[in-house]
Amino acid sequence: MPSLSPLASLWAWDNLPTNDVGIGFACSRAARLTRHIDDQLRHRPGQSSLGGLQPRISSRHHRQSIADKRQLHNRFSVNEATMGGLKAVEDRPTPKEVYNWRLYTEASIIAMGSLLFGYDSAFIGTTIARAGFKDDFGITDANKSGISSNITSAFQAGALGGALMCFFITEYIGRKWALIIANLVFIAGAVPMVAATTDLANIYAGRALTGWGCGVITATVPSYIAELSISSIRGILTGLFEVTYQTGSLVGFWINYGVNQNMDPNSRAAWRVPMAVQLIPAGFLLVGGFFLHESPLWLFKKGRIAEAEKALVALRHLPMDHQYMQEEVAIINTRLSEEADVAAKYGTGFWAYIRGCLAELSRKGMWNRLLLVFCSFSLQNMSGAAAINYYSPMLFGSIGIKDVALYTGIYGLVKAVASIIFYGALIDIWGRRNPTIISSLACSLCLWFVGAYVKVGNPAPIIAAGNELSASNAAGGKAATAAIMIYSVFWSFGLNGIPWIVSAEIFPGALRNLTGTFAAFTQWMIQFIITKALPYIFESLDFGVWFFFACWMLTATLWAYFFLPETKGVTLEQMDVLFGYEGDRRAQGIVQTPLAKEDAVSIEEGVGKPGMTDHTERA
């Protein structure tokens, strides 16, 4: 493998996403970026030192980069380390010691937090629909909509507050203690839910507390893992967020089916057992949390150099005088200097950084990125997927399904498998825009079909009266059930995770701490609104609720076609052209020449092809 200039290695490694709130499996192919940058630097006089400004990159070089990207890829070799069937694409010579048990163990412990989120999102709908729960808490047909709405939305309200506070918590006390405290709050919420007898206040308070914990956890876990990880497997380890989320979701969907098969489904224990299962992963996370190392990036930021170096030595299994470790420290210091540059006009410290970020985000070409994030998460939550998660008995019952617990479990299994396949193998091949368009359109068609069946067949009252469906009506019910399963497959590779990926890709790294918080806040806010309103929407619209979500998915199709750009493989400079950015990146340590119009036209021609999937920028 050819030698790399220190600046090229630093730039490429620091380009990997470090605050992906959400989900994406694909490991960035940073090695090709490194060689591309190194090739540019070798042909330019007056290279800058690591501490100075980056070299000026001309419009001509951008055109060459886009036109010759495949050629550059073929000219340079890629160093790949195979681990457990997964390939780690290395951006620089990487000692084998860094692929060690401690790194994988700590990433797995941290990812346990998203298992809590996945389980809580899946188990509650079927649990509170049980006859035993209704009897214990006095739920009747007259008040069931209001109570179920309050129970489900209390979780979102708590998560909304947790996501909003997460940025400040993690900046002040660190990632490790933010995770531990959030987990303790989660446990404090789960206990009164299990112990509740007849008082709904315990259930409401417990849901709000577990929601607050999940709000902090979901905004902390991906960035925490990314900051502990090495670049070559950062995408793989961050992808544990999705794996554990889907695992928790599967357990949550199937727990009620297991209860039905093994105990009296109408007993008090039938709803308490699913409530109590929350405490199992929370207990593992609580014990494991005390064995975690704090993020070295955060420790360096706080000036705790000795602790940061100790953490790096433990996580990398290398001494501090090793070249790899010295390069990593240089990368961290460069990232911190970029954040300081953002705050430079307003002084130093945390609040100066906030003011600097807000000023930068108010510029043309930045605020429309925020609007894109807001729209993507709004449409994600108007897709109907969250509604099916939380109100599966109501929605599955409307199409005549008797064994709701079984079909809810099947729905969760199909969704989980489809998500893992797409984000594990296809996201960097198919991109972001086209999957969103195809997924949204297919989901809309499925929902239109289900709504039409419920309108024509109206199976729920027939089954409730104890009568059998006619042959044609039963066949229609099977087709509607199949449509929901098909919906879950298509939704999994569209608005399920792509909003999280896009929200991380389109912003410079120095702003991602704040924009990641904005993305999480938006997601929880819209989900709170829809889960609070859905029981009333269902009562008012009946079969029309399926048409309601179908219309929103059709809107998502049109939105993605006209307004969602392809961000796979787009560099930060190209991103600025796509969004019409008007600003000066000298404040962030980058001197650049705006791309010519022909560059903007050629962006989508030079990126977005198989194998050309690097998302390149300064972190």
pLDDT in tens, 405-452: 888 888 889 988 888 888 777 877 888 899 999 999 999 999 999 999
pLDDT of amino acid 83:
40
Q: Are 612 and 70 in contact (CB under 8 A)?
A: yes
Q: Are 502 and 373 in contact (CB under 8 A)?
A: yes
Q: What percent of the chain has pLDDT over 70?
A: 79
200-228 and 175-195 helices, crossing angle to 10°: 160
* DSSP for 476-536, written as a single string: HHHHHHHHHHHHHHHHHTTTTTHHHHHHHHSS-GGGHHHHHHHHHHHHHHHHHHHHHHHHH
pLDDT of amino acid 76:
35
200-228 and 144-173 helices, crossing angle to 10°: 40
Q: Do domains 97-293 and 363-566 have the same CATH topology?
A: yes
Q: What angle is formed at CA 549 by the lines to CA 545 and CA 551, rounded to 5 degrees? A: 115
- As a whole number, the mean pLDDT across the chain is 78
Q: Which tokens sit at 448? A: 């239109």
Report domain extents, the chain. Answer: 1-94+569-619, 97-293, 363-566
pLDDT band at 303 (very low <50, low <70, confident <90, very high): very high
pLDDT of amino acid 70:
39
pLDDT in tens, 120-132: 988 988 888 888 9
Residue 604 has pLDDT above 50, yes or no: no
Instruction: Write out the H or E segment, with its range, that includes residue 288.
Output: helix 279-289
Q: What whole-number distance in Å separates Cα of residue 360 and Cα of residue 343?
A: 10
b/e map of 72-100 (b: 16 or more CB within 10 Å)?
bbeebebeeeeeeeeebbbbbebeeebbe
- Give 82's strand partners: 87
Cα-based distances in Å from 452 to 4, 480, 557: 61, 9, 20
pLDDT in tens, 454-482: 888 888 888 777 788 888 888 888 899 89
Which architecture, in CATH terms, is 363-566?
Answer: Up-down Bundle (1.20)
Q: What whole-number distance in Å separates Cα of residue 45 and Cα of residue 221?
A: 42
Mapped onto helix, strand or coil, the DSSP state of residue 89 is strand
pLDDT in tens, 550-590: 999 999 999 999 999 998 877 777 888 888 887 655 334 33
Q: What percent of the chain has pLDDT over 90?
A: 35
pLDDT of amino acid 495:
87
pLDDT of amino acid 91:
60
Q: What whole-number distance in Å separates Cα of residue 428 and Cα of residue 568?
A: 7
Residue 264 has pLDDT above 70, yes or no: yes
pLDDT of amino acid 65:
41
pLDDT of amino acid 536:
85
Cβ within 8 Å of residue 220, ≥6 positions away: 113, 166, 170, 175, 178, 179, 182
Residue 180 has pLDDT above 90, yes or no: yes
Please name the residue that has the structure tokens 């199992």: 280
Residue 499 has pLDDT above 50, yes or no: yes
Q: Which tokens sit at 568? A: 């796979």
Which one is predicted more confidently, 223 or 592?
A: 223
pLDDT of amino acid 92:
67
Residue 293 has pLDDT above 60, yes or no: yes
Q: What whole-number distance in Å separates Cα of residue 51 and Cα of residue 559?
A: 43
Cβ within 8 Å of residue 219, ≥6 positions away: 21, 162, 163, 166, 167, 170, 516, 517, 520
pLDDT of amino acid 277:
95
pLDDT band at 597 (very low <50, low <70, confident <90, very high): very low
pLDDT of amino acid 496:
85
b/e map of 451-470 (b: 16 or more CB within 10 Å)?
bbbbeebebbeebeeeeeee
pLDDT of amino acid 89:
54
Which one is predicted more confidently, 387 or 83?
A: 387
Residue 53 has pLDDT above 90, yes or no: no
**Is residue 151 packed enough to be buried (19+ CB in 10 Å), middle (13-18) or exposed (0-12)?**
buried
pLDDT band at 516 (very low <50, low <70, confident <90, very high): confident
Topology given in CATH for the domain delimited by 97-293: Growth Hormone; Chain: A; (1.20.1250)
Mapped onto helix, strand or coil, the DSSP state of residue 592 is strand
Rank 1-15, 89-103, 105-119 by mean pLDDT and report only the highest.
105-119
Residue 155 has pLDDT above 60, yes or no: yes
Q: What whole-number distance in Å separates Cα of residue 416 and Cα of residue 451?
A: 24
* DSSP for 197-255, written as a single string: SS-HHHHHHHHHHHHHHHHHHHHHHHHHHHHHS-GGGHHHHHTHHHHHHHHHHHHHHHH
Dihedral (Cα; 352, 175, 236, 612), 10-degree rounding: 0
3-state helix, strand and coil shares in percent for the chain, rounded to the nearest 5: 75, 0, 25
pLDDT band at 88 (very low <50, low <70, confident <90, very high): low
Q: What whole-number distance in Å separates Cα of residue 515 and Cα of residue 512?
A: 5
Q: What whole-number distance in Å separates Cα of residue 571 and Cα of residue 558?
A: 25
From 118, 402, 405, select the one nearest 259 (Cα to Cα).
405
Average pLDDT over residues 326-335: 89
Which one is predicted more confidently, 435 or 141?
A: 435
